[in-house]
Amino acid sequence: MLQIKCPCCGPRDHDEFRYAGDASVPRPAQNDPDFERWYRYVFVRDNPAGIHREYWQHVMGCRQWLIVERNTVNHKILSVNFSRGALA
């Protein structure tokens, strides 16, 4: 089972977290009227084999938003940091 080391709560099973998407895609400005840019932000994703930055929320714990750097080939977690509130 995958374990994520929450900076607040320590190591926890990934069942306590909710995956929330790719953390490497920059969010358009709130008042950006460009439909294509919003479409790509919401729906278009790469599916990389290798290191990937992901948003996770510790929903069954401290509820913090985290950025997890994970290798999608072997599921090894390289780092876990607090998100700066890009989604929250």
Comparison of 5 and 45: residue with beta carbon closer to Zn ion? 5
Q: String of b and e for 50-82 (b: at least 16 CB within 10 Å)?
A: eebebbbbbeeeeebbbbbbbeeeeeebeebee
Question: How far apart are CB 71 and Zn ion at their closest, in Å?
Answer: 22
Question: How far apart are CB 24 and Zn ion at their closest, in Å?
Answer: 22
Question: How far apart are CB 48 and Zn ion at their closest, in Å?
Answer: 26
Q: Which residues bind Zn ion (CB under 5 A)?
A: 6, 8-9, 58, 61-62
